[in-house]
Every structure is written in C-alpha cells, then in structure tokens.
Chain A
Amino acid sequence: MADIDLTHLCRLAQLALDPAEQRAAQTDLARIIGMVDQMQSVATDDVEPLAHPLGHAARLRRDEVTETVDRERFQALAPEVQDGFYLVPRVVE
C-alpha cells in the first residue's frame, strides 16, 4: 500500500479538503497509486525518457516585439483590481 501524506500533498497543491473529501481522496489516491505501480513490472534501465511525442526542442521566435500589453482588457477578467493592480490579501504587514 502506497504511503500517501495527503496533508502534505494538499499543501503543495493549494487545496483544502473537508473531512469527507479527505477520506474519499485517501481511498481514491491509494487505489490510483496502487494501479500505477504496475509500471514497476517493466524494466526501463537505459531507456531514454520521452517528454514530447515528436521529440522536438521548443521553437524559438525572432527577438522582436510582437505583442503589446493590454492591461485593461486582461484585467477586465480579474475578480478584484484597483489602479491597474491585482488585489490580494495583505502579505506584508
């Protein structure tokens, strides 16, 4: 059985689960990790990992200005803004 520290994972993922969700998540994650442990049955020594299906390196574009900042249009989507800034709870007292 996989050793799953749900509290730690929730902290890393910035999720807060209520007690019922926590019980369900613990069970489900144990099942999922148990299933993915089938991977260990295949030897993969000396196999090169495949991160991109076409094996491409990221394409670079010319170093030219192609976009301009359109703050008003993008901030129209934000839940809370003021004077062109995104508002969040106070971080530094």
Chain B
Amino acid sequence: MAFTTLADLADGLRSRAFSSRELTQRFLERIAAHDQDLNSFISVAAERALDQADAADRRLARGDAGPLTGVPIAHKDVFCTAGLRTTCGSRMLENFIAPYDATAVARLDAAGAVTLGKTNCDEFAMGSSNENSYFGAVANPWRLERVPGGSSGGSAAAVAAGLTPAATGTDTGGSIRQPAAFCGLTGIKPTYGRVSRYGMVAFASSLDQGGVLARSVADAGLVLALMSGFDPLDSTSSEHRDPWLQALPEGTIGVPERPPVIGLPTQYFADLRHGQSQLDEARRVLEAAGCEFRDVDLPHTGVAIPAYYIIAGAEASTNLSRYDGVRFGHRCADPQSLDDLYRRSRSEGFGAEVKRRILTGTYALSVGYYDAYYLKAQKLRRLIQNDFFTAFDAVDLILAPTTPGTAFARGDLTDDPVAMYQQDIFTTPASLAGLPAMSVPCGFEDGLPLGMQLIGRHFGERALLETGALYQRHSAWHEEVPGGFAP
C-alpha cells in the first residue's frame, strides 16, 4: 500500500477493499516507524487525519466520492492549514496557526484528500538542501547522509520513503524539481499563475508556484488538476482555462496526439559532468516512442543564477518585512523600543540563510544599486524568457538535466552559499520565465537517483504530462524504491 499509485488507492477505497481510516492508519504507522531517520515531517496531524478519514469513509459509503476521497497526502509546511500549525521551517512561525486554509489545501480537502501532516522544508523555502530548517535537516531515503534537496525536501523524502503517497511542494527556483530529482520522484512546477498562491506563505511573489511531488506522472497530474485553477483571492492567479487538465481526475493521461519535437539546449549539456548517459538513454526511449529531437540555443542560461538571486532576494526582503513581532510570529522578550522590537524579533526569528537573502535583496534595492542590480536582473529575465520563446518556435518541449549531479552529502556546501546557489543552474531559467517544468526519474548513478527535466510552453502542462507519461510507460525508474524503506 505504501508505494501504490493514487489511482489504485482511490479504486481500493471505492471498491471497499480497505477504508480510508485503515489506509490513513497505515501511513501514520509508517511515519511513526521511519521518520526518526528522515525528519521529513514537522507536524504529524494523526487525530485530525483520522477525523478526515472517517468523513471520507462516510462519503465513500454514500457513493459521492471524488477522485481523491480518502487518500492521504501531506502538505509542505508553507501552505496554510486552518487549525494546524504552519511554520515555514522557521522559528519565526514556530507557533503560528493560520486562521484560514491555502486555496490549494482547501481544494484538495474538498476533493476528499486526508492531510497526514506538514512536511519539513528550508526556512521560508530558501535553500537547495533542506539544511536551513529550524526543525533540523532532512535525510535522503536513498542514502541517509545525503541531502534530499530543497526546499521541498521533507515532501520529497516522505514520498520517496512511502510515508505518504504524494505531497504538495512549492518551487521558486527549483524547490520541487531538484528534490524530486534527488529522491527519484516526479515533481511538477506548473506555469506561474496556475496554482493559487493564496495562503502559500510568500517568498518571491513573481516566482513562487505550488505544485506536486509524487511517484509517477499520472499521480502528479491528478493532484495538480485538483489543486489548480483560477482563484479570485490571488491577484496573480491566471484566468486561463484548461478543460483538459480540469477533466484529468475523471480520466487518464493519454498519448500525445502527435509525438512532440523536443529541444536539447546546448548550454545545459556543455559542461555536464553527471547524468549524460542516463539522459542519452531517456532520449533513445522517447525517440523509440516517436519523439523527434533537435538542438536548441538558450544563450542567456549563464546569467540565470545571478538574475534569479537578485530578483528572489529583492522580493524576499520585501515580503519578509511583514515579520515584525507585532501582529503574528516571534516576538523578542522585553523590547526596549519599537526598533529594538523589530530588530531583535527578526534577528531571533530568522536563520542565517534567510538573513543572507534579505540582506542581498536589500542591497539590490538600495539607493545607487537599484539600476545596476534589480533593474539589470529584470532585463536579463526578459532575455531569458525570450530565449525560451524563440526555442519554442522550433520545438514543443525542452529536455534538460534537472540538477548538475546526484544528491550531495549533508554539510558539503553549507560553508559556501554561492556553491549552493549553483545547484539551481538548470531549474532557475524556467522559473524566471514562468514556464511549467517537471522532473522525471531517468536512472541512477552510484545508487542515487537522477532526474531529467521537461520544460513546456506557458500553460503547456498537457504536453509535459503526456510526454512524461509516455516516457514512464517505456521506463521503470519511477518504480524503484529505496531499500531501507521497502514495505
């Protein structure tokens, strides 16, 4: 059961092979048995989950079950959940209980999903290794001394270890795709605006997107379909309608109407030291299934990381100014003045990486540096997006590595923020351009998983999911399970 697909779990529930309470209990037992090795959950909501499971069982008995009714999932701890604390992996929000649900959470609740708990993440989703959490680092189920990736590292580790069948994540510069790659999962970051950001604690508002980590493209598509769509409560939510995605929970992902033409960006492969043979093999699988490949040029790839870290830092410094020790969140003891209240509350509440990002952003936005940094980064963002638009004149999708290598060891990059930032080299460009992108498992190197990334046009999730599903019909990497966590 721990590694069964969402569709099969939903079928089992509808045919009454097992109840939602039994299923939920099973995953809660796995969390209790295994999570001391992983630290993938910040909060486990056992009682609440069993109540939700009982409600789902009643719905199932009435015969009005939806496609996910009674199926347990977990939420990254940046999605607000009414009555269940939302920490963002930060001391600042250690005791924060949101008075409302994020729209993505509300939609999955309405579909009948059961929330097992809230998963660990880098503080305020800032990191590529899940080592920046106030609640401790997360281990990679494939090898415990390795990082699971970040910032959705808890979601990735929990899904990979079979502690939850799927989990939500958020992706600002790669925070769904990179942990999916490091943990052997399918992870999709949809088009900017596809999933409501309402109740998703803001890091960098022009980049943040909610999405899914799951064990297959089919599972990821199902959860995405249920959590996405226009939301008047998010002023950046897109009104784009997608009948195909909307209908997905009632059907399955079919084969592409015509096999896609897939671009290989020369800049992404130029200095690739890991994963070349696995990506070559994936290409052969897709070619055998009828896909055609062409080289494409994305000439501004090299400045994506600097542009990303300026824009994300600038937006973070602005967004995080709301944490002031006054209205919610951590407040220092015995403040002597208003400035003292602000400064000590923020300095005690935020960890080192969050402070670095705030200071970087403050620098980029300060008088005399705005044009040279912030405006410059926004101009580069335009050039990066134009590169993709030009490439998509010739191809339907882009195939690239997700990461420069497999999961690195905990502690390896913590002393050098710039080396850590370089981990995001292949994921930040699609983020800056607002494009949908998905990481799919494509093999192993020395026993650790590798991911290939598919990048689509704006609102091109259908092509992404159909091509990813096509690949998974002809490959079995996504079915591998880390040895120590086998059922």
In B162-199, which residues have CB < 8 Å from any A CB? 192-193
Query: Are A12 and B362 in contact, with the CB atoms below 8 A?
Result: yes
**Residue B339 is within 8 A (CB to CB) of chain A in the complex:** yes
In A12-43, which residues have CB < 8 Å from any B CB? 12-17, 21, 24-25, 28-29, 31-42
Q: Give Cα A49 to B374, complex, Å.
A: 10
Q: For residue A47, give the distance in angstroms from its CB to the closest CB of chain B.
A: 4
Contacts of B335 in A (CB 8 A): 88-89
Contacts of B377 in A (CB 8 A): 36, 39
Residues of chain A at the chain B interface (Cβ within 8 Å)? 4, 6, 8-10, 12-17, 21, 24-25, 28-29, 31-42, 44, 47-54, 56, 58-59, 61, 70, 73-74, 76-80, 86, 88-89, 91
Query: Are A35 and B310 in contact, with the CB atoms below 8 A?
Result: no
Q: Give Cα A86 to B338, complex, Å.
A: 12
Contacts A39-B303, A39-B310 known; A80 to B347 CB distance under 8 Å?
A: no
Contacts A35-B418, A49-B379, A54-B238 known; A89 to B338 CB distance under 8 Å?
A: yes
Query: Are B347 and A44 in contact, with the CB atoms below 8 A?
Result: no
Closest 9 CB pairs of A and B: A53-B434, A49-B378, A79-B331, A44-B379, A50-B382, A36-B306, A77-B328, A47-B379, A16-B343
Query: Are A13 and B379 in contact, with the CB atoms below 8 A?
Result: no
Query: Are B378 and A78 in contact, with the CB atoms below 8 A?
Result: no
**Residue B325 is within 8 A (CB to CB) of chain A in the complex:** yes
**Residue B27 is within 8 A (CB to CB) of chain A in the complex:** no
Query: Are A47 and B382 in contact, with the CB atoms below 8 A?
Result: yes
Residues of chain B at the chain A interface (Cβ within 8 Å)? 96-97, 99, 192-193, 206-207, 232, 235-236, 238-239, 300, 302-303, 305-307, 309-310, 317, 321, 324-331, 335-344, 346-347, 350, 352, 355-356, 358-360, 362-364, 366, 372-373, 375-383, 385, 416-418, 421, 432-435, 458
Query: Are B416 and A49 in contact, with the CB atoms below 8 A?
Result: no
Q: Give Cα A91 to B363, complex, Å.
A: 28
Contacts of B303 in A (CB 8 A): 38-39, 41-42
Complex: chain B residue closest to A46, CB-CB: B379
Set B302, B306, B379: member contacting A48, Cβ < 8 A: B379
Query: Are B99 and A73 in contact, with the CB atoms below 8 A?
Result: yes
Query: Are B363 and A33 in contact, with the CB atoms below 8 A?
Result: yes
Contacts A14-B342, A38-B306, A53-B192 known; A89 to B337 CB distance under 8 Å?
A: yes
Q: Give Cα A60 to B481, complex, Å.
A: 48
Q: Give Cα A52 to B206, complex, Å.
A: 6
Q: Give Cα A16 to B345, complex, Å.
A: 9
Q: Give Cα A41 to B300, complex, Å.
A: 11
Query: Are B97 and A14 in contact, with the CB atoms below 8 A?
Result: no
Contacts of A31 in B (CB 8 A): 416-418
Complex: chain B residue closest to A52, CB-CB: B206
Query: Are A15 and B306 in contact, with the CB atoms below 8 A?
Result: no
Contacts of A50 in B (CB 8 A): 378-379, 381-382, 385
Query: Are B342 and A86 in contact, with the CB atoms below 8 A?
Result: no
Query: Are B366 and A9 in contact, with the CB atoms below 8 A?
Result: yes
Query: Are B337 and A32 in contact, with the CB atoms below 8 A?
Result: no
Q: Give Cα A33 to B239, complex, Å.
A: 38
Query: Are A54 and B192 in contact, with the CB atoms below 8 A?
Result: yes
